[in-house]
Amino acid sequence: MNRRNFIKTAAAVTAGFYLNPVEIFGGKVMAAENLKWWQRTIVYQIYPKSFADTTGSGTGDLNGITAHLDYLKKLGVGAIWLTPVYPSPMVDNGYDISDYTAIDPAYGTMADFDRLISEGKKRGIKIVMDLVYNHSSDKHAWFLESKSSRNNPKADWYIWRDAKADGSAPTNWRSIFGGSAWTWCEERGQFYLHTFAKEQPDLNWENPAVRQALYDAANFWLDKGVGGFRIDAITYIKKPAEFVDGAPDGKDGLSHIHPLTANTRGILDFLHEFKRKVFDGHDIFTVGEANGVAADELNQWVGANGVFDMLFEFSHVLLPLKNGEIFCRPTPWKLTELKKALSDSQAATRTNGWCPVFFENHDRPRCVNYFFPKDANPVDAAKAMAAILLTLRGTPFIYEGQELGCTNVAWDSIDAYNDISSHAQYEFALNEGYTPEQALEFVHFFSRDNARTPMQWNDKKNAGFSSGTPWLPVNENFKTLNAAAEEKNSDSVLAWYRKLAKFRATHEELISGDFELLLPDDENIFAFSRTLGSKSITTVVNFSTKNIPLPAEFHGKKILIGRKSEDLKPLEIKFFG
């Protein structure tokens, strides 16, 4: 199945499955008193490389995070998801790990990490680590040993295969970052598999010693007192029993690896073992990055019989790419589709499991540019998204800078981009016949660098991020868009985030209340209610850039936040009680 059909199939399954979640799971919405700490808090994601540099190296560090804990506290944050801080050659900015139980010197020392944990604890903020267990770096000692011969003790710690009879790669799979998913290794005279870059060889989970080494590493961090784990690219760990070619889906003759290897039967056996040996018995949360889990399997992944507490599901953030283009050509989408995607995942976790709510992360463009028309006022757009994020049911995940309303960059040459996937996207687009201008436009729209530019703390040198030369240029709008300026402005995006965080924390219905989508067919208004017993809050957001009438059902209702009126200005938000 090619990626386009795969997405369509997944969507169709989703539509069918989510209609009757209550029937499927039975049971009731989880009672307020049964909620755990992580179901009541807000998680803030930090990309350490870009957050705050205390040494002038141009790269953010752990001490920079510790220095800003009070800033996060004011946002109502109870946990920080740190993208990888382990030693890494940084081919994929830390997602290529060369030692699972140490800190990369660029980020500081283990003592700095321990201090971050203890300073966080003082403020009620836990640290959540990113486990990248589908693959390691090709510089990890395990891989160096594995590739050295066919009979060393770690010979089968990775996925090795002989060439086809004609000397070509074992299959025609295209890696997620472009090009063949197989790389030839002279020393062994074999190919190794990499779902991502060639510097990220896939680990062989079939080998119990590999699994145990990974569990040991996670337990090392639990012993340090971390508050949980985000588990990277986890749907790829189980490979198919047989490796067969897929139908070519691009002019390179390759076939995208995702539909061919993601979520292979038997994966849950590994994950139940992982849960038993690592997660069970700890007051932590786990959230899996699980691209490729079909909706009718969700109850095996989260909830009472699941393996994780939450799962990042991508249907809502993939909408502007819904044509299934492998490399990110934007396509028109409708508000009704966004509402459906979000309310489907609300419904699927209504009585079993829990939802992480997110619009941004380190792999996504800024939501202001992604979900709104070009003529939308970016401040209003950022606030509109915040209103949805902080009042849906589930744990909100704020990505660094989102609380300031940060926006995309648009650099004028592909050479300016650091993101490995942007280069692959650009090459692929050229190969498919797009012009260099079009290819660059796709990169502007979708590059992961959009989210990775340095944090904008103030209007001073390098936005207050670093006294040295930042590893990635600062977005040039930092003179006006920065935390210090927003601290002073009671109408800023930051002030709005803080206000809503408090609103959420002080209204139990916004935490444990039931969710109901209102006006599902309206293409301008995103409205839903959150109800707990006799208390109910309704969120109403005009997602369009037009002035529209306020629907009659809201006339005369009590306004909790917002303007009293019978119209909705472009991107206007109202909360009714």
How many chain residues bind ligand GLC (CB under 6 A)?
9
Closest approach of ligand GLC to the CB of residue 177, in Å: 8
For the segment 325-364, give every residue that binds ligand GLC (CB under 6 A).
362-363
199 binds ligand GLC (CB under 6 A): no
CA gap 127, 133 in Å, rounded? 19
Closest approach of ligand GLC to the CB of residue 568, in Å: 36
Among 112, 199, 232, 403, binds ligand GLC (CB under 6 A): 232
Residue of 61, 138, 289, 344 marked active site: 289
What six digits make up the tokens of 173? 């799979």
Among 53, 61, 92, 486, binds ligand GLC (CB under 6 A): 92
CA gap 404, 396 in Å, rounded? 16
> Do 569 and 539 contact (CB within 8 A), yes or no?
no
**What are the residues facing 193 on neighbouring strands?**
182
* DSSP sequence for 297-344: GHHHHBSTT-SBSEEE--TTTTGGGTT--TT-------HHHHHHHHHH
Closest approach of ligand GLC to the CB of residue 451, in Å: 10
Which SS3 state, helix, strand or coil, does residue 191 take?
A: strand
CA gap 20, 10 in Å, rounded? 17
Residue 35 CB-density burial (10 A; 0-12 exposed, 13-18 middle, 19+ buried): middle
Q: Is 232 a catalytic residue?
A: yes
186: Cβ contacts below 8 Å, ≥ 6 apart: none
Residue of 53, 104, 232, 486 marked active site: 232
Which residue, 170, 154, 150, is CA-closest to 162? 170
233 binds ligand GLC (CB under 6 A): yes
82 binds ligand GLC (CB under 6 A): no
Closest approach of ligand GLC to the CB of residue 215, in Å: 19
229 binds ligand GLC (CB under 6 A): no
What six digits make up the tokens of 75? 């946002």
Among 17, 18, 51, 95, binds ligand GLC (CB under 6 A): 95
Among 38, 81, 196, 358, binds ligand GLC (CB under 6 A): 196
Closest approach of ligand GLC to the CB of residue 47, in Å: 9
Closest approach of ligand GLC to the CB of residue 193, in Å: 14
Q: Is 216 a catalytic residue?
A: no
Given the complex with ligand GLC, which of 407 and 421 has the nearer CB atom? 421
Whole-angstrom CA distances from 551 to 189, 227, 557 are 68, 44, 11
| Binding track over 115-154 against ligand GLC, x by CB under 6 A | -----------------x----------------------
289 binds ligand GLC (CB under 6 A): yes
Given the complex with ligand GLC, which of 49 and 350 has the nearer CB atom? 49
CA gap 542, 569 in Å, rounded? 7
Which SS3 state, helix, strand or coil, does residue 393 take?
A: coil
> Do 131 and 101 contact (CB within 8 A), yes or no?
no
Name the residues annotated as catalytic. 232, 289
Where along the sequence are the contacts to ligand GLC (CB under 6 A)? 92, 95, 132, 196, 232-233, 289, 362-363
